[in-house]
């Protein structure tokens, strides 16, 4: 009996992060995501030319709400983004970093765009892996901050964000001026995602340099809703919709490590089992679910969870 093979008319755009010296940057390698013309890991149906990638998150200040079992992994560098980045690369073999400029949020330290840019410059000099840079989740402040970041990282082809409805014009202009790619975020709604991509493209920004972020839900906290919208987005891309043909990113760590299942100790809830083991598996399980929904980039926190997910990706990429 002949296999029923789906023949898709479209494919996902391929986005590059980082630039080597030959491309005008200083990164040691370029990471490419997207480019597939089939659903996740259906190797018999099409080509998955770039495997999904995992980025470790680095903060520019000590994360105020992380549980101790997560902080323990970074105890010698929590307040030092340069040391944190170097440890990620040298100790854990991380080849993609996501620098979160949380200190710029008005309710955090309200650091300036110039200070944030200085941090980015130091990290770029300390490590040579490609970089994702996001602001502090303050729509108005992020636009100003990322303009400064874009200038200091000119030529490095970073992935900058997060552009939302309220600030996409400023962040898009910053990415155009510095030659970077952009993360576009909307609430979990496929039509809103498409609309924001159109608005960004209308400013003269290439649709091929946009990465979609559907607001991520952690395991037990709306994962199913995010999963279904991501699945619909990928089906639209494969059906030829150019404004939904972008790779997708999920900020897994930020959602998982504020859930009660990752924060509650085994003394408080012994029936839940060992705290660290449970928390690591909570992050890894959430990440693997999004892999199967079509995620191209996963931003994670715990090195053990990252190791588990990288191993899973390797297995899933075997044809």
Mean pLDDT, the chain, integer: 96
CA gap 309, 92 in Å, rounded: 14
Average pLDDT over residues 218-245: 96
Question: Does residue 167 fall inside a structural domain?
Answer: yes
155 torsion bin: left (phi>0), alpha (psi -120 to 50), beta (else): left
Question: Does residue 3 fall inside a structural domain?
Answer: no
Question: Does residue 84 fall inside a structural domain?
Answer: yes
Question: Does residue 138 fall inside a structural domain?
Answer: yes
Question: Does residue 107 fall inside a structural domain?
Answer: yes
Average pLDDT over residues 231-244: 98
The pLDDT assigned to 42 comes to: 95
Q: Which residues are paired to 214 by β-bridges?
A: 186
- The secondary structure of the chain as a DSSP string is --------S--PPEEEE---GGGTS--S--EEEE---SSTT-TTTS---S--EEEEEEESS--TT--HHHHGGGTTTTT-HHHHHHHHHHHH----EEEE-GGGSTTTT---HHHHHHHHHHHHHH--S-EEEE--S-HHHHHHHHHHHHHHTTTS--EEEEE-TTTHHHHHHHHHHHT-EEEEEESS-HHHHHHHHHHHHTTT--GGGEEEEE----TTTTHHHHHHHHHHHHHHHHTT-GGG-S-BEEEHHHHHTTSHHHHS-TTT-GGG--HHHHHHHHHHHHHHHHHHHT-SEEEE--HHHHHHHHHHHHHHT--
pLDDT tens-digit series, residues 220-231? 999 999 999 999
For the whole model, what pTM was predicted?
0.97
pLDDT tens-digit series, residues 56-81? 999 999 999 999 999 999 999 999 99
pLDDT tens-digit series, residues 256-302? 999 999 999 999 999 999 999 999 999 999 999 999 999 999 999 99
The pLDDT assigned to 3 comes to: 74
Question: Does residue 60 fall inside a structural domain?
Answer: yes
Paired tokens of 63: 């994360």
The pLDDT assigned to 224 comes to: 95
CATH, residue 121: 3.20.20.20
CA gap 16, 208 in Å, rounded: 10
Burial class (CB in 10 A: 0-12, 13-18, 19+), 242: middle
CA gap 164, 167 in Å, rounded: 6
Buried b (16+ CB within 10 A) or exposed e, 181-207: bbbbbbebebeebbebbebbbeeebee
CA gap 258, 235 in Å, rounded: 31
Confidence of residue 319 (pLDDT cuts 50, 70, 90): confident
- Total count of domains within the chain: 1
pLDDT tens-digit series, residues 89-130? 999 999 999 999 999 999 999 999 999 999 999 999 999 999
pLDDT tens-digit series, residues 139-185? 999 999 999 999 999 999 999 999 999 999 999 999 999 999 999 99
The pLDDT assigned to 5 comes to: 86
| Number of residues written out for the chain | 319
As a whole-number percent, the residues of the chain with pLDDT over 90 amount to: 97
Confidence of residue 51 (pLDDT cuts 50, 70, 90): very high
Question: Does residue 197 fall inside a structural domain?
Answer: yes
Question: Does residue 10 fall inside a structural domain?
Answer: no
pLDDT tens-digit series, residues 112-122? 999 999 999 99
The pLDDT assigned to 2 comes to: 72
pLDDT tens-digit series, residues 182-210? 999 999 999 999 999 999 999 999 999 99
Confidence of residue 4 (pLDDT cuts 50, 70, 90): confident
Whether the predicted pLDDT of 312 surpasses 90 = yes
* Full domain range(s) for residue 261: 16-316
């Amino acid at each position: 009996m002949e296999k029923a093979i789906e023949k898709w008319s479209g494919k996902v755009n391929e986005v590059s992060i980082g630039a080597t010296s030959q491309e005008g940057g200083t990164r040691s390698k370029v990471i490419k995501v997207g480019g597939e013309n089939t659903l996740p890991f259906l190797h018999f149906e099409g080509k998955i030319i770039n495997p999904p990638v995992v980025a470790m998150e680095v903060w520019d200040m000590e994360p105020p709400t992380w549980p101790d079992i997560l902080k323990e992994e970074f105890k010698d560098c929590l307040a030092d983004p340069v040391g944190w980045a170097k440890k990620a690369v040298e100790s854990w073999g991380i080849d993609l970093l996501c620098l979160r400029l949380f200190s710029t949020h008005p309710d955090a330290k309200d650091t300036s765009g110039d200070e944030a840019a200085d941090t980015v410059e130091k990290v770029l000099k300390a490590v040579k892996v490609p970089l994702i840079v996001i602001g502090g989740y303050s729509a108005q402040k992020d636009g100003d901050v990322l303009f400064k970041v874009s200038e200091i990282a000119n030529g490095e082809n970073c992935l900058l964000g997060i552009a939302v409805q309220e600030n996409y014009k400023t962040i898009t202009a910053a990415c155009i001026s510095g030659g970077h790619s952009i993360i576009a975020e909307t609430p979990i709604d496929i039509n809103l995602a498409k609309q924001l991509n159109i608005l960004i493209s209308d400013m003269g920004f290439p649709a091929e340099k946009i990465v979609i972020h559907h607001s991520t839900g952690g395991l037990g906290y709306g994962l199913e809703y995010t999963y279904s919208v991501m699945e619909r987005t990928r089906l639209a891309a494969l059906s030829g919709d150019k404004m939904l043909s972008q790779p997708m990113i999920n900020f897994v760590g930020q959602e998982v490590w504020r859930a009660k299942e990752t924060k509650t100790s085994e003394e408080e809830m012994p029936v839940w089992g060992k705290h660290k083991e449970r928390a690591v598996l909570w992050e890894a399980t959430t990440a693997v679910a999004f892999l199967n929904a079509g995620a191209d980039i996963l931003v994670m926190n715990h090195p053990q969870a990252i190791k588990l997910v990288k191993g899973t990706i390797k297995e899933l990429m075997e044809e």
